[in-house]
Structure 1
Amino acid sequence: MSRTDQVVDGIKRMILDRELGPGDRLPVEKELAETLGVSRGSLREGVRALSILGIVDTRQGDGTYVTNLDPGRLLAPMGFVVDLQGDGSARPFHAVRRLLETEAAGLAAARITPEALADARDVLDQVDEILGHAPVDHDRFIETDIAFHRIVAAHTGNPVLTALIESLASRTVRERLWRGLHEEGAEQRTHGEHEAIWRALVAGDADRARIRMANHLLGVEESLPGVPDDAPDDTP
């Protein structure tokens, strides 16, 4: 194990053992380096690595603090991993997204607020406007797609599920998906599917919300480049 890894593991262990908690300041550099048995240079490298992972935050002239350890922040690096994948690797990631968002729709049906439903309605009305102009503004369309799915995911009552969905459905992923969709009327079909999801959420019908979301994302998945029409259906 390298000295940097030793620092990373040591500080993570301190957090797991509750010696440090969210918002706590790390011991001064000299003291922490001695505790972990490393040099100050190795300590700084380890702290930089933990900062990238969203575990600590270094404030100039003030010290280094444990972050709030919010799942969204800690899982954010996974989104970069998804973004790095080529088009040929899109389907496995999208399949996981489909499973997660299908369950998210069911959970949201029981938890989504009237205010959030109104926000989702506003998003869908924006799509009506976008589709009313030719050619379709795909940048705006992608923005509304992200906004609609984000509203659903945010009302699952499960911050880890919300963070996982966010990391699997970044703008880069959305743009890659739409580059591969050459079917006539794909935007209108997607909008109609979003409308069906919204109606299920308004009705508070969890089963119908799951079915509508699964149908929507399975259709996207089957449209991905390189996915044969007779590919095995692994819908849950």
Structure 2
Amino acid sequence: MIRIEVTSADLAASRFAVSPLLETMHALWTLSGRAEAGPHRAWVARWRGAYARLARRHPGLDAIAAISGNRGSANVDFIAPPPTGVRAAFADELARMRGTPLSLAHAEIERVLARLPRPPSPGVLEILRGPDVVRVIAEAFEAAWTEIVAAEWPRFRAVLERDVVQRAGRLAAYGWGRPWTTWASRCAGAPGTSSWPSAPPTRCGGTNWAGGACCSCRPCSTGGWPRSWTTRGRTR
């Protein structure tokens, strides 16, 4: 179960955001068959061959798959920094991810490896525990973006931004009560909290305390709401 505790200060600092890097990660899950294609079946059929060729050239894609999109809390944070707004550029988000200290990346990876039901292949483990893991993962993301996602990003972004506009309008008209009530249809919560069942492809677990930090409410073209709630807060 995912439990997010928020205060009025957290909500005041919250915003809607769109993330090309996170959309690229979701696209990889969908193209690899780890996530349901849903309404994107035609898009997946069109790009699956390109993804297979890309995977042969970039073993970092297998490394990404090993440490993201897993049940519960068996997922790293550094490959998906919280988005900063609705017009974030892929290059800027990737630069933030590239700036991850190796010690932090290795610490998060080891935490995830300890929680996986079975270890990744030896080749993937070599990448994950190697000195170039951040670079290798960044290059895999960049290749996936350049060769697959970027071609149709304007269309995806337009859909996501329309969703943000619609929900921002509801927020302006009704306050946080209306979106919170909408999300609550899939949540179990109490005042100041919300909880979601931890089911694939949920990527966190435990009690997440926003702690005065901002939260990003992010639409996802392959997932939807509310699982695209991102917080800079701490897990406890």
Q: TM-score range by the shorter chain?
A: under 0.3
Higher helix share: 1
Structure with higher Rg: it is: 1
Question: TM-score of the superposition, structure 2-length normalised?
Answer: 0.28
Higher share of residues assigned strand: 2
TM-score, normalised relative to structure 1: 0.28
Higher relative contact order (CA 8 A, sep 6+): 2
